[in-house]
Amino acid sequence: MNIDPSLVEWSRWQFALTAMFHWIFVPLTLGITFLIAIMESIYVKTGDPEWKRITKFWMTLFGINFAIGVATGIILEFEFGTNWSNYSWFVGDIFGAPLAVEGIMAFFLETTFIAVMFFGWNKVSKKVHLLSTWLVAIGSNLSALWILVANAWMQNPTGTRFNPDTARNEMTSFWEVLFSPTAINKFLHTVSSAYLLASIFVIGVSAWYLLKNREKLLARRSIVVASVFGLIFGIYTALTGDSSARHMAQVQPLKFAAMENLYEGQSGAPFVAVGITRKVENDEHKRLEFISKIEIPNVLSYLAYLDPNAFVPGIKDLVHGNPGKGVMGVNEKMEKGRMAISALRSYKEFQAAGETAKADSAMKVLEANYRYFGYGYFEDPHQAIPPIRLTFVSFRVMVYFGFLFILMMLYFVYHSMRDTLEKRRWILVLAIFAIPLVYLVSQAGWIVAEVGRQPWIIQDLMPTFAAVSHLEVSSVKLTFWLFAITFTILFIAEVRIMLAQIKNGPKDGGK
């Protein structure tokens, strides 16, 4: 397949830019809607008008985030059809079905329940309004479910069968796709991290009010709700992260090895808690060498297999194979992949010639080797290695700051319960800085997921370079810069409107 590498790179940059920009808005929506629903529930339960005021204030900030972010995801769908046409065709209905459900769900959600949520104060009963608020929260999260299911399928394609007549993967079991362990882990980990992000957002804004000696009741109450919510889901994020990593070790072992910069497989493998690395020049394995590191013995083996003495394959084992440990190398997979591609070609040729028996025989070869189909495009086994440094660093950023945020939530819960928060101004200042930081950490999570799975767009079935459309590189560059400009303007608009609204405070109410 003769693809210009710069076309692949620019297409990837363009997609990464769009996805990362989209992800600025999504996690806040996913989390803050639940926080708003909890606050409104307290209002309905207690009848205290201050809770209504608090609810309406956070609803306004949610509205700003929602308005600026809405439809930014649509561009990703444009890009699938234009820049990734081979991929879009190849995935067929598996990707189309969840996205269609998401689209319909988002449309009904946005036109009905959000309207009641924003316009319905004093027009519908308290209970109907509260129900709408909860439905917005649940609906947004269900909307995210379908996207994450589609993404999970790319990381671990299950519940499908390749149809050589249409050149498409067809769904054989909707439930297998929906309930694949990758989809469940991905959904739970992503949404719980979004709840943590939203909690930090609410705490950070409230901390600013406390530092400014304004809106103290609103700030205190918001911190109580957000810190408890953030603590619960912060811990849950860590637990789901742990199960995600364990699952990754099974289905994406090279991603796991890259995340740990594990070159040689080991029994009783240690976890590198802190490591400073340098690149080994001209190394075919893209190896990073540890200049210094602090290791925790046996932890990696335990994390991956719940056995402190288990063997964890390293990059070298996975690329070259380690028959003693039952690890198949990329070379062998490349052979099988080439057989699959060749069988597909033969199938089409025999079918065109009307030679049914030969076509059936080619089909059998294709089916037997299809799970390695994508390896057939590699010319060198080292092409299967993901970018190690970015994956390794992003993973540590995500995990370490994730734990720091949990401690921060614990601190806020403790001191807000004892009403001693305002005496500790340093933590209030820190909470404000935690807002941009948690966004960076959230993006780091996606870098681990998406950069770590390279070179695959669909794990084992289609490498990223085989998925791009044959466009002019200049046109991809042009759209990249157009997006970069548009997104920057939108981002500045969001921050300015949001900051102005926070500065105004809740006096304007909920619109």
Partner 1 sequence: MLKRVIRFYIEGFRSMTVGKTLWAIILLKLFIMFAVFRLFFFKPYLKEKFPDDKSRAKYVTEQLTRKPL
Residue 165 in contact with partner 1, rule: CB under 8 A = yes
Shortest distance (Å) from residue 209 CB to partner 1 = 18
By the 8 A CB rule, do 289 and 277 touch? yes
By the 8 A CB rule, do 276 and 288 touch? no
| Choices 25-33, 67-75, 264-272, 323-331 (CB under 8 A): range interacting with partner 1 | 67-75
Closer by beta carbon to partner 1, 84 or else 236: 84
Q: What is the 3-state secondary structure (H, E, C) of 154-208?
A: HHCCCCEEEECCCCEEEECCHHHHHCCHHHHHHHHHHHHHHHHHHHHHHHHHHHH
Residue 479 in contact with partner 1, rule: CB under 8 A = yes
Q: How far apart are CA 140 and CA 138, in angstroms?
A: 6
Q: How far apart are CA 479 and CA 464, in angstroms?
A: 19
Count of residues of this chain found to bind partner 1 when the rule CB under 8 A is applied: 54
365, 471, 473, 484: which one binds partner 1 (CB under 8 A)? 471
**Beta-carbon contacts of residue 283 (< 8 Å; ≥ 6 apart):** none
75, 184, 310, 362: which one binds partner 1 (CB under 8 A)? 75
Q: How far apart are CA 348 and CA 336, in angstroms?
A: 19
9, 41, 63, 126: which one binds partner 1 (CB under 8 A)? 63
Structure token digits, residue 446: 């996606």
Residue 79 in contact with partner 1, rule: CB under 8 A = yes
Shortest distance (Å) from residue 82 CB to partner 1 = 4
Closer by beta carbon to partner 1, 71 or else 407: 71
Shortest distance (Å) from residue 389 CB to partner 1 = 29
Residue 231 in contact with partner 1, rule: CB under 8 A = no
- Give strand ranges (E) for 187-312: 266-267, 271-279, 288-296, 311-312
Closer by beta carbon to partner 1, 75 or else 409: 75
Give the count of beta carbons closer than 10 Å to the beta carbon of residue 242. 14
Q: How far apart are CA 117 and CA 133, in angstroms?
A: 6
Shortest distance (Å) from residue 339 CB to partner 1 = 9
51, 62, 118, 229: which one binds partner 1 (CB under 8 A)? 118
Q: How far apart are CA 170 and CA 162, in angstroms?
A: 6
74, 276, 407, 429: which one binds partner 1 (CB under 8 A)? 74
70, 171, 327, 430: which one binds partner 1 (CB under 8 A)? 70
125, 474, 475, 488: which one binds partner 1 (CB under 8 A)? 475
Structure token digits, residue 50: 């201050």
509's torsion region: left (phi>0), alpha (psi -120 to 50) or beta?
left
Give the count of beta carbons closer than 10 Å to the beta carbon of residue 122. 8
Side chain identity at residue 64, one-letter code: I
486, 488, 492, 499: which one binds partner 1 (CB under 8 A)? 486
Residue 107 in contact with partner 1, rule: CB under 8 A = no
Shortest distance (Å) from residue 210 CB to partner 1 = 23
Residue 266 in contact with partner 1, rule: CB under 8 A = no
Alpha helices by DSSP H, listed for 252-261, are 253-259
6, 45, 48, 81: which one binds partner 1 (CB under 8 A)? 81
Structure token digits, residue 273: 């808690």
Closer by beta carbon to partner 1, 158 or else 501: 501
Nearest C-alpha neighbor of 33 from the set 148, 132, 146, 105: 132
Phi, psi (rounded to 5 degrees) for 289: -105, 135
Residue 281 in contact with partner 1, rule: CB under 8 A = no
13, 89, 305, 439: which one binds partner 1 (CB under 8 A)? 89
State the sign of the Cα–Cα–Cα–Cα dihedral 355, 360, 365, 371. Answer: positive
Residue 115 in contact with partner 1, rule: CB under 8 A = yes
Residue 86 in contact with partner 1, rule: CB under 8 A = yes
Long-range CB contacts (within 8 A, 24+) of 404-407: 405/196, 405/200, 405/230, 405/234, 405/434, 405/438, 405/441, 406/231, 406/234, 406/235, 406/238
Shortest distance (Å) from residue 61 CB to partner 1 = 10
Scan residues 293-352 and list those touching partner 1 (CB under 8 A).
338, 341-342, 344-345, 348
By the 8 A CB rule, do 92 and 170 touch? yes
27, 139, 164, 241: which one binds partner 1 (CB under 8 A)? 164
Exposure on the CB side of residue 284, measured as CA atoms within 13 A: 7
Residue 472 in contact with partner 1, rule: CB under 8 A = no
The contact pattern for partner 1, residues 3-42, with x = CB under 8 A and - = no contact, is ----------------------------------------
| Choices 69-77, 172-180, 247-255, 380-388 (CB under 8 A): range interacting with partner 1 | 69-77
Shortest distance (Å) from residue 20 CB to partner 1 = 17
Closer by beta carbon to partner 1, 444 or else 498: 498
Binding site for partner 1 (CB under 8 A): 1-2, 60, 63-64, 67-68, 70-71, 74-75, 78-79, 81-83, 85-86, 88-90, 115, 118-120, 123, 164-168, 338, 341-342, 344-345, 348, 376-377, 466, 469, 471, 475, 478-479, 482, 486, 490, 493, 497, 501, 508-509, 511
